[in-house]
Amino acid sequence: MSATTQTLSDKSSLENGDESYELSKDKIFHLLQTQRRRYALRYLKEQDGPVEMRDLAEQVAAWENDTTVQALASNERQRVYIALYQSHLPKLDNEDIIDYNQSRGIVKRGPLADQFDPYLELNDTTSDELSDTEDKIDSDRWFRYYRWVTAMSAGTFAAVWLNVPIISSAPIQTLGAMTVGLYAFISSAQFALR
C-alpha cells in the first residue's frame, strides 16, 4: 500500500468517526518542529472549547516575545497572526489536528490533538534537564573567568621571573596580594550571583 493510499484511507476513517488513528512519531515531530505550532497547540489544550483565532495569535505572540498580551506591540501581533493564518493553522487543520474555520476565525482542537499533548508539557524530568543545562552553562562561564585569572597570574609571575621592567619592580607581596584578591573577587561574585 502506498503512502498516499494509506493517508487517504486514514483520512476517510477519521471522517467516519474513527479517532483511533495513530500518527507516526516522525509526523508528530515534523508538525511540532515550529515553535508557533507548539504554542498554538498548547494554547488550544488549555482552553475548554473553540477560540477566536485573534486570541490564539495574541497569546502565541506574547509567549514568543516573553511578555503579556497587553504589552504586545502591533507589529509583534501582526507578524504572528499572518504566519498562523497563512501557514501554521491550515497545515494543522489539513492533518485533522485542529478544526480551523478560516472564514469565521474560529479554532478548536481536532480529533488527533490528544496525540500531541505529551510533547507540549514540560514535565518534571524535562524541567530538571533544563535546570541541569542552565547550571552547566553557568559553571562553564565561571570556569572561564577562573581560567583568565590563572592565565593573568601566570603571565605576571613569568614577567617577574623574566625581569620585565615595570612588573619586576613591584614587590612580590603586592603581586601575590593582587592575585589572591582577583580570585577572592571572582569567588565572591559567583557566590553572590547564585
pLDDT tens profile 143-184: 888 888 899 889 988 988 899 888 888 888 888 898 899 888
**In this structure, are residues 153 and 182 in contact, taking their beta carbons and an 8 Å threshold?**
yes
The band of 132, judged by pLDDT with boundaries at 50, 70 and 90, is: low
Q: Which amino acid would we find at residue 148?
A: W
In this predicted structure, the answer to whether residue 124 has a pLDDT above a threshold of 50 is: no
pLDDT band at 133 (very low <50, low <70, confident <90, very high): low
**Range 87-105 average pLDDT:** 91
Decide if 53 contacts 85 (C-beta within 8 A): yes
Contact 98, 104 (CB under 8 A): no
- Taking alpha carbons only, the member of 25, 130, 40 closest to residue 83 is 40
> Which single residue is written with the C-alpha cell 577562573?
146
pLDDT band for 136, please (50, 70, 90 cuts): low
Q: Is the pLDDT of residue 135 over 90?
A: no
Q: Which residues pair with 101 in a beta bridge?
A: 106
Percent of the chain with pLDDT strictly greater than 90: 27
Whether the predicted pLDDT of 139 surpasses 70: no
- Cell numbers at 169, concatenated: 619592580
Residues 94-115 have a mean pLDDT of 91
**Residue bearing the bigger pLDDT, 52 or 189:** 52
Helix H segments across the chain? 3-15, 25-31, 35-46, 53-64, 74-83, 89-94, 117-120, 124-161, 165-168, 172-192
Task: Give CA–CA dist 56/104, Å, rounded.
Answer: 14
Which among 66, 45, 148 has a CA at the least distance from the CA of 56?
A: 45
pTM exceeds 0.75 = no
Query: Is pLDDT above 50 for 126?
Result: no
Residue 19: DSSP 8-state: -
Q: What is the pLDDT of residue 108?
A: 93
Q: For 20-66, how does the pLDDT look when each residue is reduced to its tens digit (9 = 90+)? A: 578 888 888 888 888 899 999 999 999 888 999 999 999 999 999 98
Average pLDDT for the chain: 80
